[in-house]
């Protein structure tokens, strides 16, 4: 990159453009939360990787990457058609990764947490809410907890995202803008797309809705519950828990109420 900056064959405009490109690269590389690996597929959970075919395992990281979690996907499009350079095209994930060596009752194990942020419908709080026409939920995150113990591995996966129908919450002078549910679109089409995709990727869905069940958020909870009932899909279950009401004044012990509600479904295979 330094050579390009000092190249005597560049015109003054090219040199200026190159400085801009270098500045953009430096800015991106200085932002926290971007991860890559040249040996491990960060875009897939351990669960998916354990259930793939030999053909999948032989693919390059670029070929097999989950496009939801490849933040440099647009830049890599031109490389996709050229297998001979795939080894130079590394998918970049945005999210959070931490690894710790732990010990409980004298048993040592490695604990890892990987959060993958989707590049579809990403945006800052309030400005980006709901879903798009393809069913992508705003600020969708897949979080995986991995435990390594004596050569064995276990993975627990959860997902979160904006409530998956068409709504907005545009910032104004109020501390908490009022959510607005769109009245001019077919909510069920995008809603169905979202959960079809979720079931394909993760199996049974246990929805846990923590929004307020009164005030400005009440219509969101009511609409969500109504749409799940209308969808009538046995693979999707719904639990609403008014977190702020139940756990106000730091009464975290009351989360046991929610855990009891979820216990039966959570113990089922693929209970999600």
Burial (0-12, 13-18, 19+ Cβ within 10 Å), 153? middle
Give pLDDT, residue 227.
97
Count CB neighbours of 190 within 10 A: 20
- Which among 161, 169, 172, 156 has a CA at the least distance from the CA of 216? 169
Q: Phi then psi for 35, rounded to 5 degrees?
A: -135, 150
Give pLDDT, residue 8.
62
Let me know how long the chain is: 272
Give pLDDT, residue 9.
72
Q: What is the 3-state secondary structure (H, E, C) of 43-89?
A: CCCHHHHCCCCHHHHHCCHHHHCCHHHCCCHHHHHHHHCCHHHHHHC
pLDDT per residue as tens digits for the range 231-269 = 999 999 999 999 999 999 899 999 999 999 888 776 665
The Cα-based distances of 269 to 37, 149, 203, 204, 264 in angstroms read: 31, 21, 10, 9, 11
Residue 90 has pLDDT above 50, yes or no: yes
Beta strands in 57-183 (DSSP E): 93-104, 107-117, 141-149, 152-160, 167-168, 180-181
If DSSP codes are grouped into helix, strand and coil, which group holds residue 251?
Answer: coil
CA dist 71 and 92 (Å) reads 6
pLDDT per residue as tens digits for the range 36-80 = 999 999 999 999 999 999 999 899 999 999 999 999 999 898 888
CA dist 168 and 165 (Å) reads 10
- Which among 171, 167, 173 has a CA at the least distance from the CA of 211? 167
Helix (H) / strand (E) containing 28: helix 12-30
Q: What is the DSSP letter of 146?
A: E
pLDDT per residue as tens digits for the range 176-200 = 889 999 998 999 999 999 999 999 9
pLDDT per residue as tens digits for the range 131-153 = 999 999 999 999 999 999 999 99
CA dist 139 and 120 (Å) reads 8
CA dist 168 and 128 (Å) reads 7
């Amino acid at each position: 990159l330094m050579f390009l900056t000092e190249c005597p064959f560049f015109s003054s405009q090219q040199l200026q453009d190159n400085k801009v490109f270098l500045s953009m690269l430096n800015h991106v590389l200085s932002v926290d939360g971007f991860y890559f690996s040249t040996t491990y597929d960060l875009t897939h959970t351990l669960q998916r990787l354990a259930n793939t075919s030999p053909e999948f395992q032989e693919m390059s990281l670029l070929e097999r990457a989950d496009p939801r979690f490849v933040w440099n996907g647009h830049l890599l499009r031109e490389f996709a058609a050229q297998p001979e350079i795939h080894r130079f095209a590394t998918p970049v994930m945005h999210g959070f990764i931490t690894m710790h060596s732990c010990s409980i009752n004298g048993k040592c194990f490695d604990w890892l947490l990987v959060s993958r942020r989707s590049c579809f419908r990403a945006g800052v709080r309030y400005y980006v809410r709901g879903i798009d026409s393809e069913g992508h939920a705003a600020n969708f995150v897949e979080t995986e907890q991995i435990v390594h113990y004596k050569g064995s591995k276990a993975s627990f996966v959860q997902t979160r995202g904006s409530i998956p129908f068409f709504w907005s919450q545009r910032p104004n002078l109020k501390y908490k803008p009022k959510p607005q549910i769109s009245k001019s679109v077919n909510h069920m089409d995008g809603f169905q797309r979202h959960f079809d995709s979720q079931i394909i990727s993760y199996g049974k869905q246990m929805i846990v809705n923590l929004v307020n069940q009164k005030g400005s958020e009440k219509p969101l909870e009511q609409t969500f519950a109504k749409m799940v009932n209308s969808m009538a899909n046995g693979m999707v279950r719904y639990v609403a828990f008014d977190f702020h009401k139940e756990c106000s004044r730091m009464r975290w012990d009351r989360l046991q109420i929610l855990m009891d509600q979820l216990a039966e479904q959570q113990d089922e295979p693929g209970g999600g």
